[in-house]
Amino acid sequence: MVLYKLEDFEPSYQESFDGHDIKGLGVYTQGSDEKVGTVSDVLVDEEGHFRYLVVDLGFWIFGKKVLLPIGRARIDYNVDRVYTIGLTREQAEDLPEFDERQTLDYDYEERVRGVYRQPTDYNNLPVEAATPLDPLAGLDPLGAPVAPLGTTPTYARDSYTYENEPALYGLNEQDHQTLRLYEERLIANKRRQKTGEVTIGKRVETDTARVAVPVERERVVIERVTPADAGTAVSGREADFREGEVARIEIHEETPEIRKEAFLREEVRVRKVVDQDTVETQETVRREELDVNSANLPIEER
């Protein structure tokens, strides 16, 4: 059975005790109200159940730490004290010293339990407390059967559990009555999820563009006119009749010449903006309230 220090098992253990810290509480004997020492630590099992209080016996035995089974302790937060049940100075002297550097194994715990298993502690009970199955057996203060009168119980190493000895490890209901009231709260959180995707790209579209270009074309105009001296006789030298005389005129025209050039038309910038909004939701929560039935008895609430 592996045991852990309370703080190693649950670093925020004080939240379970409404901010109280059991470590540092004074340890006193029940009845005589004599101070025994101080709680220096708590050992819990793999499920977080209290098993031992580590008690520094500075007021009884200087420099010695011992283990006090939780069933032999009563914690009173009203006065910030721990009361031992049935622990004597002689038992404290017989308890093996607790050393954090040593392994806490079954044999060590058996030495501890052996001190607390005094026959008088188990069997100092009236005969009426015997169980029907064994007229010689008694019951411990928690109602569990114990060894026959005059003997101490023995257990097997492989089958031992803390539940075998409720007198040592059980929380006495009269000494440890704690009623916890719970309530539910709404915890608001946010979860980021993808709602869509925007794809931005380019595509090429074609269109027919028209442009008007003025062009010039040359043409020959032949005009026949009657000169003012028509019908007047000319000399033979002026009348030069020649065969094949040709007049040449070049004709020109303009044709449109079209080419394409690319120009920057516009620039597109893509970015994201975050819009904030408040979403309200509601849910039914439960809360426990204390219902006290005192039957007209005086009750003090603190």
Q: For tokens 């049935």, what's the residue?
A: 86
pLDDT at 18: 67
Report the distance separating Cα 5 and Cα 19, nearest Å.
Answer: 18
Report the distance separating Cα 67 and Cα 112, nearest Å.
Answer: 7
Read off the tokens for 282: 């509601």
- Say what the pTM is: 0.49
CB 289 within 8 A of CB 180: no
Q: Which residues of the chain have pLDDT under 70?
A: 16-19, 118-154, 172-182, 300-302
pLDDT at 214: 93
Closest CA to 160 of 106, 207, 203, 211: 106
pLDDT for 149-193, tens place per residue?
445 566 788 888 888 888 888 875 555 544 456 677 777 888 888
Burial zone of 98 (CB within 10 Å; 0-12 exposed, 13-18 middle, 19+ buried): buried
